[in-house]
């Protein structure tokens, strides 16, 4: 939806139409708060860009609580098994029977985004696609504004009471937060991520530890599977042929021992350098951050979208209290509350990075010990299950 008269003021201008921005927009709009979403991609790209699809139980509860879980309740599938493959054999954890006894829900992120966007537009929510936020100014005042370039190349200015940055690690919101301290960790690991038009080859999430590098298998639906292959830093996304990808997956997943992989054409590929990145604080005056703009997390444990949803709910509650009830306390506490969840997720994900990768013989010995504990110790399994599905 576009404003016929061009830029106009809003209570909250939201940057980014991902899970965080769209959930925040829905919750604010329902509370009667005038909000506007600016998204640099086209509507088709927003609805189709493939991302992770493992939703934590708390994410499902949040969406249920706000009546936004219809699509995932119809089409989502519960998932509760992960399988580890090593030189010592394989073992499977049914994590829904461990820890707090909760499964994941598999629902592709593009489907969730489509659901949230459809709901937001259906109730009159405002969104500008193909509109790139360039800068946020005046964040230290009560009248910040967003400078953005529209689809026609024209630059406009959107004033607001608050700006919510949900536009990712490289977005304008993060660049405009001068008081933030950046906590960064490069894990020194690179993955080639491929999306294959092929049915899953395992009935579990597959984690393969191999001396040639890590390999991962994650179902995205009955006909599409996500695979990961550890590769050299600096590898180009198109450097490996499809034959090489399938051959390397077969070796690392030990298809000769445990059954062949279902093959199909590669639909998408990308190279990921595993990094963790957290900003402190998440608020600077009238500018607040959520989602990847607040914290980037390695995909090892599928926490990114789940943190985004949790942060969006916390931020919505805080902004509603501030704008509707003149209660600034929750907004003042937002950063600390959100970061408590971020650091817990980061800690477990950091553990997963070291569980799945080793950089030296010493690391490899520690890795074998961790995997042995996970295979044989019920207390280790309960700890894993609780953190694996939690945020």
* Contact in structure between 288 and 330 (CB atoms under 8 Å): no
Which alpha helices (H) appear in the chain, and where do they start and end?
Answer: 19-30, 43-48, 57-65, 70-75, 109-122, 172-175, 242-252, 255-258, 304-325, 329-356, 361-376, 378-388
Among candidate residues 217, 284, 303, 357, the one labeled active-site is: 303
Active site residue 207: yes
Among candidate residues 207, 227, 228, 334, the one labeled active-site is: 207
Active site residue 157: no
Query: End-to-end distance of the chain based on CA atoms, in angstroms?
Result: 33
* Contact in structure between 173 and 289 (CB atoms under 8 Å): yes
Among candidate residues 7, 19, 29, 79, the one labeled active-site is: 79
Active site residue 388: yes
Which alpha helices (H) appear in 149-241, and where do they start and end?
Answer: 172-175
Active site residue 79: yes
Indicate the SS3 state at residue 114: helix
**Who's near 346: CB < 8 A, 6+ residues apart?**
276, 278, 295, 297
> What count of residues does the chain have?
391
Q: Which of 138, 127, 129 is nearest to 163 (CA)?
A: 138
* Contact in structure between 165 and 287 (CB atoms under 8 Å): yes
Q: Which of 252, 194, 264 is nearest to 222 (CA)?
A: 264
- Computed on alpha carbons and rounded to an integer, the radius of gyration of the chain in Å comes to 21
- In whole angstroms, give the CA distance from residue 6 to residue 72: 35
Say what angle helices 329-356 and 378-388 make with each other, to 10 degrees. Answer: 130
> Please, what is the Cα angle at 219 between 217 and 223, to 5 degrees?
125
Active site residue 228: no
Among candidate residues 57, 108, 144, 299, the one labeled active-site is: 299
The catalytic site residues sit at 79, 207, 299, 303, 388
């Amino acid at each position: 939806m576009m404003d016929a008269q061009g830029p106009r003021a809003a209570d909250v201008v939201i940057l980014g139409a991902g899970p965080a921005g769209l959930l925040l927009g829905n919750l604010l709009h329902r509370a009667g708060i005038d909000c506007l979403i600016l998204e640099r991609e086209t509507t088709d790209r927003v609805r189709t860009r493939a991302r992770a699809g493992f939703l934590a139980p708390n994410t499902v509860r949040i969406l249920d609580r706000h009546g936004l879980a219809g699509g995932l309740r119809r089409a989502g599938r519960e998932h509760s098994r992960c399988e580890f493959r090593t030189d010592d054999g394989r073992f499977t954890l049914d994590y829904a029977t461990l820890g707090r006894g909760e499964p994941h829900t598999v629902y592709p992120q593009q489907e969730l985004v489509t659901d949230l966007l459809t709901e937001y537009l259906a109730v009159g929510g405002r969104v500008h696609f193909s509109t790139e936020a360039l800068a946020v100014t005046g964040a230290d005042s009560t009248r910040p504004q967003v400078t953005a370039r529209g689809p026609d190349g024209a630059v406009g200015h959107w004033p607001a009471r608050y700006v919510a940055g949900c536009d990712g690690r490289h977005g304008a919101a993060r660049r405009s937060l001068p008081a933030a301290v950046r906590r960064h960790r490069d894990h020194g690991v690179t993955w080639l991520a491929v999306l294959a038009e092929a049915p899953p080859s395992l009935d579990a999430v597959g984690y393969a530890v191999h001396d040639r590098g890590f390999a991962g298998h994650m179902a995205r639906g009955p006909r599409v599977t996500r695979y990961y292959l550890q590769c050299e830093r600096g590898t180009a996304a198109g450097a490996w042929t499809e034959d090489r990808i399938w051959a390397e997956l077969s070796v690392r997943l030990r298809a000769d021992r445990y059954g062949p992989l279902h093959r199909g054409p590669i639909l998408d590929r990308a190279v990921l350098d595993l990094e963790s990145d957290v900003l402190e604080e998440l608020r600077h005056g009238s500018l607040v951050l959520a989602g990847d703009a607040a914290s980037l997390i390695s995909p090892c444990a599928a926490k990114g979208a789940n943190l985004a949803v949790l942060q969006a709910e916390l931020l919505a509650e805080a902004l509603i209290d501030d704008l509707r009830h003149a209660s600034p306390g929750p907004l003042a506490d937002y950063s600390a509350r959100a970061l408590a969840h971020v650091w817990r997720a980061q800690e477990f994900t950091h553990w997963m990075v070291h569980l799945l990768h080793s950089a030296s013989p010493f690391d490899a010995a520690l890795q074998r010990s961790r995997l042995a504990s996970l295979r044989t110790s019920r207390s280790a399994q309960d700890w894993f299950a609780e953190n694996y599905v939690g945020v």
